Amino acid sequence: MLQNMKLQGTATQETPEQVEARKAAEAGRKLDEAEVPTKQRMAYDPATNKIVGPVDVDIREWSIEEIKECGDPKITLCMILKDEEDHIRRCLESVKGHVDEIVVVDTGSTDKTMEICKEYGAKVFEHPWEGSFSTARNQAMSHVSTEWILQLDGDELMDAESAPKIRDIVRSVHKSTANMCYLTLFNRDIDDSKAKDLTSINTGKIIRMGIGAHYVNRIHNKLICDGDTRITGLKIYHYGYHLDEAKMKMKHERTLSMLLAQLEEMPDDPDTHYYLTIQYLRGEEWDKCIEHSKIGATLFLKKEPDSQLLLLVYNAGAIAYYHKKAESPDNKQEFLKNAEELCLKAVEIYSDYLDANSLLSSIYFATKQYAKCYEVSVKFLAAAQMHKNDPTKALIIPINCLKNEWLVNLQLAINFYENAEGDNAVMFLQRSEACLPLEEKYKPSFTVFKYMFQRGDPKSLANAEAIYKAGYRQE
């Protein structure tokens, strides 16, 4: 079950020493240094790429009064960049005045990226590209002089309401056991004020320095950071998938090449198979996606059964099976059954997993299991609303189906039309329209009208007429 998985921001239970320290601080009494409980942690030296230590680290909670007495901890915006002149100014503007220094490692820009960064007072260090994003990130961290870093990419920016809270977050955790704070990242579809949030994920972006935090893996870096974590509620926006077709193809090929190189080095690494599953899914190479989904699931169950990535491995494989049905109509039912089985494995782990429930809705719709379709659709819509109300409840894996609310409502509308419940059908059709921007509000009515009209039987034609009237009732 999900409570056994590695969850973001889950505070560990206080030890008796921590309880005593907190109570003492709240009562206004000071603890002598000898009374402060410590534990030993290893430290990471980016210069030598070695683990050193151990070192003693204070692990007790501090009171608000003590935090104020210790002064403001400093924070650095820490970045690796290459040819980001189209995005970097906006990124730097989003945190202007909210960080104490900016450190940039440039891995070979040929445009004005470094020049723009220097306009904002950044310390820019040139490091040749060594074929690993982790190497570059660790190099950037080695140049930081503050107690904390905020790690952003050039195509990300802080939400305007979140940026002023960065310092408050750092102050609040500086004397706690937390060494990393999660921010909620939203991938957006377009590059303007009308952008829609396509996916969301809680990701570690505020990191304590001096305790050995570092990145591993060539690509899709994994942060290794000892200690507790906190969820902050701060928001970041990412526009890295808002690229033209040629750039997206180049990005896909680069990522795939690096993952395959990483696979040669770590053939039994479940994370690498997970990322290959996702990359082949994006490239619509369904068989390879399914292959790595199976290998990844086996490795996660053997090595890291509590990893949330297992959910995505199952779901990605299910999506591949779902799409294969169009390539091989004779095997459609088999592929849909395989997709259903993988989705059910995911929701068995976490019943409110949005992506799996969204796909199950489509699977049950395609197989005309309308009762099951209704059940999982209502479950999905309720969970999606909860997620929108509080995005910090996101997992540490991407939630990719936020854009599917209109489709799930649409399928429910058809379900009710099929069962001659016209009022409910119109209600869900209207809800489907409400999920879309003005220029796309025609899509639900048109899609259902076409679906019914193509069936051609008297009942479907009557439904098509009703849908037409409902969909264009304001025309």
Beta partners for 75? 148
Tell me the torsion sign for CA atoms 219, 280, 397, 345: negative
Q: Rounded distance, CA 458 to CA 172, Å? A: 66
Higher pLDDT, 472 or 116: 116
- In this structure, which amino acid lies at residue 393? K
- What does the buried/exposed string (b/e) look like for 118-137 if buried means 16 or more CB atoms within 10 Å of the residue's CB? eebebbbeebeeeebbbbbb
pLDDT tens by residue, 266-314? 999 999 999 999 999 999 999 999 999 999 999 999 999 989 899 999 9
Choose among 323, 324, 335, 263: nearest CA to 299: 263
Report the relative pairing of strands 101-106 and 75-81 from DSSP bridges: parallel
Average pLDDT over residues 192-196: 51
When the pLDDT of each residue in the chain is averaged and rounded to a whole number, the result is 82
- Could you give the CA distance from residue 389 to residue 295 in angstroms, rounded to a whole number? 36
Long-range CB pairs of 400-404, under 8 A, 24+ apart, other chains included: 400/198, 400/199, 400/355, 401/354, 401/355, 401/358, 401/359, 402/197, 402/198, 402/199, 402/200, 402/354, 403/189, 403/196, 403/198, 404/358
Pull the structure tokens for residue 197: 């949030």
Query: Which domains, and CATH codes, for the chain?
Result: 70-238 (3.90.550.10), 243-372 (1.25.40.10), 401-475 (no CATH)
Q: How far apart are CA 413 and CA 436, in angstroms?
A: 16
Q: Give residue-wise pLDDT tens across range 106-144.
A: 999 999 999 999 999 999 999 999 999 999 999 999 999
Distance CA 311, CA 409 (A): 24
pLDDT at 60 over 70: no
Segment 154-177 mean pLDDT = 93
Residue of higher predicted confidence among 472 and 203: 203
- Count the residues in the chain: 475
Beta-carbon contacts of 351 under 8 Å, excluding residues fewer than 6 positions away, are 379
Q: Which of 209, 224, 206, 215 is nearest to 158 (CA)?
A: 206
Q: For residue 42, what is the DSSP state?
A: E
| Interval 363-417: pLDDT, tens | 999 999 999 999 999 999 998 888 878 876 777 777 888 889 999 999 999 888 8
pLDDT at 455 over 50: yes
Q: Identify the H or E element spanning 76.
A: strand 75-81
Q: How crowded is residue 396: how many other Cβ atoms within 10 Å of its Cβ?
A: 18
pTM of the model: 0.75
- Both tokens of residue 304? 């890291």
- For residues 4 and 308, is the Cβ–Cβ distance under 8 A? no
CB atoms closer than 10 angstroms to residue 371: 9
Measured CA distances, 375 to 325, 372, 389, 425 (Å): 23, 5, 22, 16
Please check the confidence at residue 72 and state whether its pLDDT lies above 80. Answer: yes
